[in-house]
Structure 1
Amino acid sequence: MDRLIPWMLLKDVPGIGCLLAKRLLERFGSPEGIFAAADRDLLAVEGISSKLLEALRGARVTDKIRREIDRTRDLGIRLVPLSDPDYPALLREIPDPPLILYCKGNPRNLAPAVAVVGSRNATSYGVTTTRHMAVDLVRCGVVIVSGLARGIDTAAHEGALMGGGRTAAVLGSGLERIYPAENRRLFDRIVEQGCVFSEFCLDAEPDGFHFPMRNRIISGLCLGTLVVEASKHSGSLITARLALEQNREVFAVPGNIHSFKSTGTHTLIKSGAKLVEHVGDILEELRIGVPAASGFGAAWPIDGPLADLDPEEAHVAAHLSVYPMVMDELVRRTKLSAGKLAAVLMRLEIKGVCRKAPGNQYALCPSEQGTIP
């Protein structure tokens, strides 16, 4: 018998969710052991009722299960059961890990990992900040995990790829139902440079109830979860709560106090999440060392019209934000002298890239806010 069939069979038993399945596996060791166990031993497991015992006894290998396994192989998708050495170690520790993961790409070497989540309808500030954070994190050897959704998720994956690092996406649909559809190309790039996971069958639609289930996998793969822009009722707050329940760290990036898209992140900070101004805050909390060759703190790549700037101008522009920043902070970030920085900022003003604000502060011009990755 195909070694995957008992796992797929257990996964399909009505009423046996991931929490109860893990409890059964801890007692009987394997799906085969569960199906072979005596009735009295099964009923002795907390949560197993007579009705669930009947469901276990009635489980049969169907053509649907066999076809699903055959299709995954034809599509180059791996089925990774909980017992597989390539099953992510941190995910195995949560109370309700998926019995089996659908995986496209390479599931190995996904540690240390940080989840980056936030608003689907992100502002330019959120997108820019997320990309910058992701670039710096992967330069320090951190894997970025997110959900392939629009907005912050997309920016997190893109930043990881631009930084030459690894990233993993977790879908709330099957791997043959990529959602949102416009992220198909991003999906392919992630597969080349990381992996994409789902616990749902290949053709599962992106139903609403799938996403809270997906979120526990995002947080479960990681040492901590970083929230960038979240409204009061954002789904990313569910991911943060799940991270806490899994005994993982929660981080939040502060935003504009006048924006409703910052209310969720600010609530997290008030509740004890660590405020993040730069990735050093995350690395310090998670005790992740910075490789000497990481380039941490260096300027990140710039696309679009800003690509024509000279190296000094590009370096400074990459450290500007959509919010005004005082000169002292820019000196600290760019590591340029005050005189040199002032000269470069003047050139950027002339080129229409940045503007001077009251109080000797500088910010990107509105037309350039979306061009820095």
Structure 2
Amino acid sequence: MNTKEYKELLAYEFLWSKENSTLKKMSLTLNNGSLLASEKLKEEMFFDDAELYEIDNALKERSKAFSVLFKNDERFPKGLLNVKYPLGMFYYKGNLDLLKNVCVSVVGSRHVSPKGKIRTEKLIKELHSNTTIVSGLAKGVDTAALTTAISLGKKVIGVIGTPIDHYYPKENKELQDEIATNHLLISQVPLYKYDKQSFVTKKMYFPERNVVMAAISDATIIVEASETSGTHSQAKACFDLGKKLFILNSCFENHEITWPTKYLEKGAVRVRAITDIKILKD
């Protein structure tokens, strides 16, 4: 990370450090992602030197282990500027070129059923070999999708709901490190603010993470999900962004849930066979 990038990182972290900051407030502060954080700070001139010094001390060493990408970089994915509350930046480790590939999110329940795990593994095997698999590193479907893809020699992108240098769940540390080293790991979660927050308020980053996955993917496939699953945040984002949403047939056959039919009516595709999944690169 060069000096200019680091100063921009500090500007974002400073804005995030303000009391009651949220993704929505941050996006509006940055004029729906059209401004860089440094441009906003220069415009309003409200740097608090003491707090900025504290943030600098907290991040100086940590920032050596990851990179940041901003909206003025030609490599920045346009989809992330089309979300409801764009930020125009993210933290990453790994190979940004993977964003140029045909990217497909494979998502679903953390408490995946045994059959759901088998379906996930079968789906990953049947998707085209050049498809880059995107998922969230949660337990269940996410972990099954990513580990299966890596074992088959496919490329993956992990999008996490914690800071780029945190691990959640802890048991996926080895998987996360593998993705960061040989694939691509992405986060939009602020480091300094996160460390100051209560555990309860950190939960908001996970549905926001799902929106990021939808935005950088050409399509999303839901393997299985309950009525209250965080996966629904990604489904909604797909509809908002005009992205393809595919739902495995087994979800429709589960009479304990009603969401598959609702999504079908909105334009989702019911997947009875791998040939039902047709994806074009944006």
TM-score range, shorter chain: 0.7 to 0.9
Q: TM-score, length-normalised on structure 1?
A: 0.63
Q: Distance in 1 between matches of 2:267 and 2:8?
A: 43
Q: Distance in 2 between matches of 1:220 and 1:200?
A: 16
Report runs of 4+ in structure 1 exceeding 6 Å deviation: none
Equivalent in 89, 94, 99 of residue 105 of structure 1: 94
Q: TM-score, length-normalised on structure 2?
A: 0.81
* More RCO (CA 8 Å, sep 6+): 2
Residue 249 of structure 1 pairs with residue 255 of structure 2: no
Residue 70 of structure 1 pairs with residue 60 of structure 2: yes
Query: Could you tell me how far 1:178 is from its partner in structure 2?
Result: 0.7
SS of residue paired to 1:157: helix
User: Residue 103 of structure 1 aligns to which amino acid in structure 2?
Assistant: Y
Larger radius of gyration: 1
Residue 208 of structure 1 pairs with residue 216 of structure 2: no
How many positions carry a matched residue from both structures?
263
Q: Distance in 1 between matches of 2:63 and 2:39?
A: 26
Q: Distance in 2 between matches of 1:173 and 1:263?
A: 30
The C-alpha deviation readout for 1:115-135, integer Å capped at 9, x for no partner, is 111111111211111122223
Q: Distance in 1 between matches of 2:190 and 2:37?
A: 19
Q: Distance in 2 between matches of 1:135 and 1:98?
A: 34
Identify the residue that residue 77 of structure 2 maps to in structure 1: 88
Identify the residue that residue 160 of structure 2 maps to in structure 1: 171
Residue 23 of structure 1 pairs with residue 31 of structure 2: yes
Root mean square deviation, CA, Å: 2.6
Which consecutive residues of structure 2, in runs of 5 or more, have no partner in the other structure? none
Residue 59 of structure 1 pairs with residue 61 of structure 2: no
Identify the residue that residue 195 of structure 1 maps to in structure 2: 184
The change in CA–CA distance for 1:23 and 1:186 in structure 2 (over 3 A counts) is same
The C-alpha deviation readout for 1:27-67, integer Å capped at 9, x for no partner, is xx644443444xxxxxxxxxxxxxxxxxx432346123323
The C-alpha deviation readout for 1:66-103, integer Å capped at 9, x for no partner, is 2355234432x112222223323332333423332111
The answer to whether the 8 A contact 1:230-1:264 is kept is no
Identify the residue that residue 359 of structure 1 maps to in structure 2: none
Identify the residue that residue 40 of structure 2 maps to in structure 1: 34
User: Residue 276 of structure 1 aligns to which amino acid in structure 2?
Assistant: V
Q: Distance in 2 between matches of 1:193 and 1:281?
A: 30
Query: Identity of aligned pairs, percent?
Result: 24
Q: Distance in 2 between matches of 1:10 and 1:202?
A: 10
Residue 240 of structure 1 pairs with residue 230 of structure 2: no
SS of residue paired to 1:251: strand
The answer to whether the 8 A contact 1:9-1:60 is kept is no
Which consecutive residues of structure 1, in runs of 5 or more, have no partner in the other structure? 38-55, 289-373
The C-alpha deviation readout for 1:186-231, integer Å capped at 9, x for no partner, is 1122223311111123473672111111111111111111111111
